[in-house]
Structure 1
Amino acid sequence: MQRHTLRTLLALILVSITLQLSGQVSDRWVPDILGDGYEMRHIEQPDDYTGPVISTVIRKLVTPRIDSTTVNRGVLYVHGFNDYFFQAEMGDRFVEHGYNFYAVDLRRYGRSLVKGDKPFDIRDMSSYFQDIDSALVIMKRQGITEIILIGHSTGGLTSAYFESRCHPEAIKALILNSPFLDWNLGWKERLIPAISLLGKIWPSFKISQGMSTAYAESLLKQYHGEWTYRTDWKFIQSPPVTAGWVRAITRAQKALRDGKADIRIPILLLYSSASVDGSDWTPEHNRADGVLDVKDIKKYGMELGPDVTCAKVEGGMHDLVLSAKDVREPLYRYIFAWLARKGL
């Protein structure tokens, strides 16, 4: 009896440690704002420099056939800067192809914003590892043993950084949608080292992102796009960042350079065929990357590991899955064909 009590006590201690490392995971799912079978739940994470923080996991599951076993493969999607998960069409495509779909709204983004938060702020990109790991824990508890990690823009940087440092056994491949692997600031990039130093001394110092609304105008149905989303979660004009955020991004980018990432799983590197400059919207903004330099994406993406497949998407926007229908339909076919070739 005493041995049984001791084993129970040890088990409770292990569970407690796991929850402290991975966030307080509850089992309560509620319908998500996307509807159509999407559901979500919040996860309380350990406090960071701002105090209490949460992340949010969103999911849509494959409906198993009566004669089939539980689906053990899934996708985990990580959004970019000034963003949150709203790309339901992408989630639906993966579900239709037999993948349980999960996404995470990182701390201080979208569904994870709480009163008093400074949206999107971070001082160390590794802080997001807790948010991603909590989602992976949930997926594993659902019996998902083969996971495709997908990251867009800053989420692509975060996903690659996470994989390079943590190497979870369940993650079998990495898909990067226009990953933010280098700055695209022209001559202003010469200021990055000084701003990064400032970020160490005065991390809350604000840095303007400019006044452009061109990217939002290329996406939103009310302007020149075909999508709707919450503009209080994904602002039309990108908000200021902090020097601490710039420092965090720069350190993560440098950690993935010159082969230091050494990611050993297959990587699908996706980027547009062209970049477009200019603060004012033009029709080219709907057929090119208006945020990053696609040449830099390819250059630094090729350094991430030994098995990188580059795919240039003709007419693709920065978020490739939000491109015009004649672009994203071939893109989805390519993605699923690539996964099939990799045995995933």
Structure 2
Amino acid sequence: MSNLERDPAEVLVGDDPVVLDTPVEILEPREVPLGGPRAMNVRRTLPQRRRSLIGGWCFIDHYGPDDVSATGGMRVPPHPHTGLQTVSWLFEGEIEHRDSVGSHAMVRPGELNLMTAGRGISHSEVSTPGTTRLHGVQLWVALPDASRATEPFFEHLVPVSGRLGDAEVRTFVGRLAGSGTDATVFSPLVGAELLLRTAGEVVVPLDPSFEHGVLVDAGDVTVAGADVPRAHLAYLPPGCDTVTITAGDGGARLVLLGGEPLGEQIVMWWNFIGRSHDDVVQYRSEWMRDVIDDEDEHGRFGVVAGYDGRPLPAPELPTVRLKPRG
């Protein structure tokens, strides 16, 4: 999924920890329209000014349940990425993915689509005609500096379900509760959906070297004793070896994300991750020259075959040099 903001903020992330006053930090979402006349909205909990990374996880968009007849669904034209991986995970609906390395795949509930942008890739995402409701998360992982120039590639994997207390577990990145995939990652990570169909409790084992986030998709939920409203993200710092999650009447659906702190500075702007202002300027220039102006289809980002429409132009850069913030 693209960041379709017209004036995207630059985010520079360092390795200075944010000290918590309580064991759990609750991060509120902000509404972001995906564009178009009816504008499907997403709820974004990462990045934020206070906290922009959880391990390598650097971007969390949560959407739906979305009535496609009212919003028009998802139609994101070809757009670029650098220095990251996109992790697509659906609860309802179907999305068609195409990219410039020749991949053509469907994103379906319970199936992982993982795209590694590396040095540069472009892709499109369109909800399929038969989809009436869209509901899921779109996640990005920042690649470590040593891996960010890797060649782009795409993976489609189906995790086997596991069980943890009262929760069904589908682990789409890493391993948890006997569930997992062999998805390619470049730093230690975990990502899983936890589903409690009725009121209940689950004690989730955690790697104490990881920091973690628990996104509440649905239900009345407490995380380590703290109430976490729907669409909010509960942050847990490194040092926790378990976390207790409870669900009220009606159950709950959650997304658990975690990883070792990245320990590097990154600059995020629009759909690019680099290490400096100059990186971002170069990526934007190449996208606009090679793809938007049709000068070099064999350039950094390539061409998305089979998409009926023009690629997405990049927003204008700020008039001043991008500077660290946060």
How does the TM-score come out when normalised to structure 2?
0.29
Structure number with the higher helix fraction is 1
Q: Which has the larger radius of gyration?
A: 1
More contact order relative to length (CA 8 Å, sep ≥ 6): 2
